[in-house]
Structure 1
Amino acid sequence: MTGPGRRNGYEQPIGRRVAELRTRRGMTQQVFADRIRKSKSWVDKVERGVRTLDRLSVIETVAGALGVAPTVLLAGKAQRAPAADTGGVVERVRAALARYDTPGSGNDSQPPPSLRELDHQAGYAWTAYRNGHLPQVLRMLPDLLDGSRRACHPQPWDASAADLLVRVYRLAAQVLVKLGEADLA
């Protein structure tokens, strides 16, 4: 579809569409910012493409203030299909979060990975999260949660083990919020 500003199937970035819709409705950046409860600077950065709109809840808020459906803002955005096993993996994460293994509960057949190895895996998972590889992080989380909990259990006073466990729980919470599972996060 071609038209003004769109050549050879090129779609405008989401920020440009926000700016266009905002000006069509006669709103200044400040008025628009007030309506969505953000700063004028935030709106300016979105419109210039410095800041991206990557959370559905924010896109819905922006679309509501502009009086359009969220799909209007997402029109040119290639939407990634969720991984086929995302639901199943989320259930594995749910089970890992609900599990409270204690020594002697049958999960001691193998020793927990070393703190150093778990720290490396957690760092890798955080990097994958920052790069948007959520399916990969989801696959890692159940084992990472289990290993971190088991490594922390025999020595709860160890600050590095406790720090690792906190980082893994934070990662799990952020991934689950991103996937719309805020109640589980």
Structure 2
Amino acid sequence: MTPEESRAFGARVAGLREDRGLTQKQLAAEIGRTASWLSQVERGIQPVNRMDVLRLLADGLGVSQQELRPDAPAEVDSSGSEAHLPNDLDHARLLISGHPVPEVVLSGTQASGPTNVEEIQASVDYVWELTHANRFTELSSTLGPLVPRIERAARTGPLADRPRLWALLSRTYQALASAFVRQNEADAAWVAADRAIRAAEESGSTLDVFASIFRLAHAFVRLKHLDQAEHAATTALNALKRHYDERPAEPEAMSVMGALHMVLALIHARAGDRRRAKEEMENARRVATRMGGDRNDFNLEFGPTNVEIQAVSISVELSDAGEAIEVGTRLDTTSLSLERRARLHMDLGRAYAQRRQVGEALSSLLEAESLSPDLIHNHIQARDTIRDLLLVSGRAAPPELKKLADRADARP
């Protein structure tokens, strides 16, 4: 946007907001931004160049993107680009609807025969493999028989096995919450995370409770309930800090604390609060430095490398494309999961797209696709980036970009 276009756009936003009878504070809260950010937009100081931010504003004002900005690309349908995302977790969504094992309520929870806990442990490990690989169709079909089995075993298995079974159930629901967030099924992620918290409490595994709260905070972020996300993460983090104030924190606890700092960085970045986002990333870095290496406690993959991957993502959220590229291109991610490695390349693609470097952006997105096709084909931000690249390129769009857009169903 030119300065004149930014001022005209800001005046249009202000007029539509006033027509709806909203204050700046109310609209900012509705779209997960700060009132000061919105004030700068309305005054033409803060340009809105990213399609995802334009979409947020349009949704908050109850208008189409074209009414807000006439040169915006046509929307796919009246509910926006998110509405037609493929969803491979429909069966899993049904799975968490209602009580998981209603017959147990009727028959009681007396101990039954022996339970093969090691076999269940292997199944839960496989669930996390599928989650990290973004293989959501397989994940959904695997969870169909597994979740009721663990739910039943945790209630009726031998008393000595029940704490471990409840812990395994918590970690299964944590995987499901993580998958739902990535598939933009945030309401289902909320339910799964809440069940993970409850199962963790039953198990007596304190840190699993806090790892589950981390999943809950991400569900709130995806729902754009940033105040709830911040409350969940902050209260959990403060409780952990008080608990470990006078005793050394084990690496597992540091993993959880570091992950909570990173989700707080994301929350503040989404709210447009650059200072607090950067502060939380520095807090996460300090925790990772104390740990000394990458770990995968509670499938959080927390450590120095993952902190820097998150730093890339936060820089992109804050439109600091140069910083994102500088950090991201020097990282060695070979020890991390395919999902984390693909996420880095996706965010690098977003950063290059912000700088309108089409070739570099396409190369990064194709690398991400080679590592995790589902991530690029299904992730909202990846699809938005592909659309933006097509719009920037126009008729000169590279053939590979057009093919990628077709594979991801991301044509403007």
TM-score (norm: length of structure 1): 0.47
Structure showing the higher helix proportion among its residues: 2
What is the TM-score of this pair, normalised by structure 2?
0.24
